[in-house]
């Protein structure tokens, strides 16, 4: 969205709380590609990532404004910088505008074309309807749908792990792997997740054991990197719409609304799906570009090497000791992310 690009270099200070009970803490706030990045002003270490399309103001009409990364979040951010406040208002307006809300005239026009679309769908392969609908869902709505899918998933897995120091370490790892601009939102779920997976809206889920049972962050970093490749290789909206069915897909196409009932159960289904393969050459190129050894990830997801043996053999950092991805104390904190 042009609103995001306009403000990508904007940054200011703010007062952040992880929960209402915590003391306010000064943070540096800056825009990423699709995230608001909060970091420690002294160390530069990221403490939290917020999805920009989900950011909302919680005290409308009051000053100074307070923002949150979603209606259910315990985090809050108080801002006084007028440029940043104006930027967030502009971005939220752009997000709202990006999600079509048919008015009376548009409703009549859609109604007039609905019969034609339905007739076309009779001759169209269902897969074509799904692909077309997925292709026209705007980024803001993808992020909103991704959060709804996450809400469905946590019914099975439990709420995302949220130890404060662990979340800061996770945000730091994400920024190290993907850079400060194009950064996905990473979550660690406490139960039921045996392998990494991704959701619409650039959401990546990591298994708890991939962090707690490893000797370093390389396996988790590699998992996040490969899931990003998978999400770029095949649109994550496609399996969701296939699960939702043609009626819900048609409703999304014509009214920009995806019924809650259509999402129900998709989180659990995603856990059971077989992950799409990623070509070794593409994976190795991504690992080398990010300066991450591939062997820890390959061994973690395939201990016998039946599938990932080629990655281990061609690891560009095999036998070397690369620079640690995050400080040791951050790794220790990340391993405790699911501790209360």
In the predicted structure, residue 131 carries a pLDDT above the cut 90: no
CATH fit for domain 9-94, picks 2.30.29.30, 2.40.110.10, 2.60.40.1170, 2.40.50.180: 2.30.29.30
Which tokens belong to 8? 């990508």
Percent of the chain with pLDDT over 70: 86
Q: How far is CA 287 from CA 301, 317, 333, in A?
A: 16, 9, 24
Interval 214-235 mean pLDDT: 93
Q: What are phi and psi of 44, to 5 degrees?
A: 80, 0
| pLDDT for residue 129 | 81
Does the structure show a pLDDT above 60 at 3?
A: no
Instruction: Decide if pLDDT at 63 tops 60.
Output: yes
Q: What is the DSSP string of 132-169?
A: HHHHH--HHHHHHHHHHHHHHHHHHH-SPP--HHHHHH
Task: Return the top range by mean pLDDT from 43-47, 67-71, 235-239.
Answer: 235-239
Instruction: Give the pLDDT of residue 5.
Output: 58
Eight-class DSSP state of 64: S
| Long-range contacts, stretch 318-322, CB < 8 angstroms, 24+ apart | 318/293, 320/293, 322/291, 322/292, 322/293
Domain with CATH 2.30.29.30 in the chain: 9-94
Give the CA distances from residue 142 to residues 138, 192, 306, in Å, rounded to whole numbers and listed in that order. Answer: 6, 24, 35
Residue pLDDT, tens place only, 281-335: 999 999 999 999 999 999 998 888 888 888 989 988 887 766 789 999 999 999 9
pLDDT single digits (tens) 256-285: 889 999 999 999 999 988 888 999 999 999
DSSP 54: G
In this prediction the pTM is 0.73
């Amino acid at each position: 969205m042009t609103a995001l690009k306009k403000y990508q270099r904007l940054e200011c200070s703010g007062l952040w709380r992880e929960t209402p009970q915590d003391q306010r803490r000064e943070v540096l706030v800056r825009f990423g590609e699709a995230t608001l990045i909060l970091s420690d002003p002294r160390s530069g270490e990221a403490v939290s990532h917020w999805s920009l399309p989900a950011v909302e103001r919680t005290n409308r009409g009051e000053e100074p404004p307070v923002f949150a990364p979603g209606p259910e979040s315990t985090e809050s951010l108080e801002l006084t910088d007028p440029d940043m406040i104006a930027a967030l208002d502009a971005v939220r307006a752009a997000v709202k505008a990006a999600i079509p809300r048919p008015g009376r005239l548009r409703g009549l026009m859609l109604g007039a074309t609905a019969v034609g679309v339905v007739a076309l769908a009779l001759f169209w392969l269902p897969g074509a309807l799904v692909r077309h609908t997925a292709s026209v869902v705007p980024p803001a709505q993808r992020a909103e749908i991704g959060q709804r899918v996450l809400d469905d998933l946590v019914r099975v897995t439990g709420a995302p792990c949220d130890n404060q120091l662990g979340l800061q370490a996770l945000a730091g790892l994400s920024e190290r792997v993907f850079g400060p601009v194009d950064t996905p939102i990473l979550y660690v779920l406490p139960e039921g997740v045996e392998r990494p997976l991704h959701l619409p809206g650039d959401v990546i889920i990591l298994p708890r054991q991939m962090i707690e049972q490893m000797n370093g962050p390389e396996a988790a970093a590699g998992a996040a990197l490969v899931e990003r490749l998978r999400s770029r290789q095949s649109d994550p909206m496609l399996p969701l719409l296939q699960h939702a069915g043609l009626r819900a897909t048609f409703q999304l196409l014509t009214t920009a609304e995806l019924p809650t009932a259509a999402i129900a159960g998709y989180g659990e289904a995603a856990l059971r799906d077989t992950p799409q393969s990623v070509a070794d050459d593409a994976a190795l190129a991504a690992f080398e570009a990010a300066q991450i050894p591939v062997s820890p990830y390959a061994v973690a997801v395939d201990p016998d090497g039946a599938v990932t043996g080629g990655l281990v053999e061609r690891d560009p950092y095999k036998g070397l000791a690369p620079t640690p991805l995050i400080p040791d104390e951050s790794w220790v904190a990340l391993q405790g992310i699911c501790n209360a």
